[in-house]
Structure 1
Amino acid sequence: MFLKLKKRNKKLFYGPYFFMGILAFSLVIGTVFSAWYFIKAAKNHNKDLAIADIFIEPVKAAEIYPEFVCGCCGRPLDPLNPCCGDMKKKVDYIDEQVKAGLSKDKIMMAAIKEFGINSLAKEETKEEIKKQLIASAPADAPKISFEQTSYDFGKISQAKGVVFASFNLKNEGGGDLIIDKLNTSCGCTSAAVVYKGLEGPAFTMPGHGQDNPKNWSVAIAPGDRAQLKVYYDPNAHGKQKE
């Protein structure tokens, strides 16, 4: 911007461009201040607003890997030496979220939603996340409960093949319990939901040579019961010795 100076009665007088410059400068300052104030308010009152992420320092994938473990061996994620397809899938997913520019908290929650809370490496983190989810859940949120959470098959004959056990569950919450994904911790196990006598598709451990069903879900109404049917294939890893 070039300003023309004119002398008028021995006083400096700035031409119209000067006033336009002052006006433009004021507008810019006002806009910057307004944007700063809005972003500050957004960070204070709604941390989930995307605009607040502008001021969040980019996270590195290496910070996230140790927070999760492989489902089959329990090792922390190692991008250089993935032990199986499950670990590689988790590493790739975290890498995608990092490239998207998300904050660490958002990446953690996205990975937990994708792979389940038991994929976390630390028990204290699991408990902390559970508390956060419970605190943020609406009053009519669904709530799943199981009558039992373990079963001993005893000695199993490989010659007889696949065996299964059913775990009764109930929706004790106020809204529909929607299940659209299941994960197991070994390629030798799979699981399906049975609701109102209908058995859904079987899910197994991701990344072990078998694709899990997509675009499937079941909605268990408040107060209703269902079963989680768990299958075990003793021949999945070949001949076994006692």
Structure 2
Amino acid sequence: MFLWGKWGSTDPADSAALATGITSVAVTDPIPPYDFGSVSMLKGNVEHEFEIVNTTDADLVVAKAETSCMCTRMVLRLPDGTEVGPFGMAGHGFTPSVNATIRPGEKIVVRAIFDPAAHGPAGIGMIERVVTLDTNKGQIAMQFRAQVTP
């Protein structure tokens, strides 16, 4: 595998912000979960970007992108700046293939979008979700968590 990490984050306390920063990593170490902190259902969606850098000398081919729950979507920004998606949970609508090649030194940005109101009142409390990329080098999993409040 090939991920040696540079881990960067922003203050997760500002859950009212639409985008809450970026986590930048290489491609082989486990990616630490991102914590949104407290997220109000009334304030709408929150987002976080995970930047995956191909630090190897071989192409990384992304075949598929999925989320662990219907309350979460993801959009991918490819090395040329093109955005593809949104991608969601398997079995909840059409999930297109990605088929993107990330060459050595290039990066892909994974924007995870969480809707805290998707589950209604039953969704209040601590949540953990995962967005994944299936690649020719295995699966890359990015996790986030939040404390959902009314």
* TM score, norm. by length of structure 1: 0.36
Amino acid across the alignment from 1:236: A
Tell me, in whole angstroms, the C-alpha distance in 1 between the residues paired with 2:124 and 2:113.
Answer: 20
Q: CA deviation at 1:151?
A: 0.6
Which of the residues 107, 110, 117 maps onto 1:228?
110
Query: What's the secondary structure of 2:36's corresponding residue?
Result: coil
* Equivalent residue, structure 1, for 2:119: 237
Amino acid across the alignment from 2:60: L
Q: Percent identity?
A: 32
Structure 1 pair 170–241 and aligned structure 2 pair: CA distance change class (3 A) = closer
Task: For CA contacts below 8 A with separation 6 or more, give which structure has more relative contact order.
Answer: 2
Which of the residues 83, 94, 99 maps onto 1:199?
83
Query: What's the secondary structure of 1:159's corresponding residue?
Result: helix
Query: What's the secondary structure of 2:41's corresponding residue?
Result: coil
Q: Which structure 2 segments of 5+ residues have no match?
A: 2-25, 126-150
Amino acid across the alignment from 2:111: K
Q: CA deviation at 1:170?
A: 1.0
Answer yes or no: is 1:152 the counterpart of 2:35: yes
CA contact (8 A) 1:170 1:225 kept: yes
Amino acid across the alignment from 1:158: M
Map 1:205-216; keep pairs closer than 5 Å: 205-207=89-91, 209-214=92-97, 216=98
CA contact (8 A) 1:180 1:217 kept: yes
* Equivalent residue, structure 2, for 1:163: 46
Q: CA deviation at 1:158?
A: 1.4
Structure with bigger gyration radius: 1
Q: CA deviation at 1:160?
A: 2.1
Amino acid across the alignment from 1:228: V
Q: CA deviation at 1:174?
A: 2.1
CA contact (8 A) 1:183 1:204 kept: yes
Which of the residues 99, 108, 111 maps onto 1:217?
99
Tell me, in whole angstroms, the C-alpha distance in 1 between the residues paired with 2:102 and 2:42.
Answer: 36
Tell me, in whole angstroms, the C-alpha distance in 2 between the residues paired with 1:206 and 1:192.
Answer: 15
Tell me, in whole angstroms, the C-alpha distance in 2 between the residues paired with 1:188 and 1:195.
Answer: 23
Structure 1 pair 174–241 and aligned structure 2 pair: CA distance change class (3 A) = closer
Pairwise CA RMSD: 2.4
CA contact (8 A) 1:176 1:220 kept: yes
Tell me, in whole angstroms, the C-alpha distance in 2 between the residues paired with 1:227 and 1:147.
Answer: 16
The structure in which a higher percent of residues are strand is: 2
The structure in which a higher percent of residues are helix is: 1
- The alignment of Structure 1 onto Structure 2 pairs a total of residues equal to 99
* TM score, norm. by length of structure 2: 0.56
* Equivalent residue, structure 1, for 2:128: none
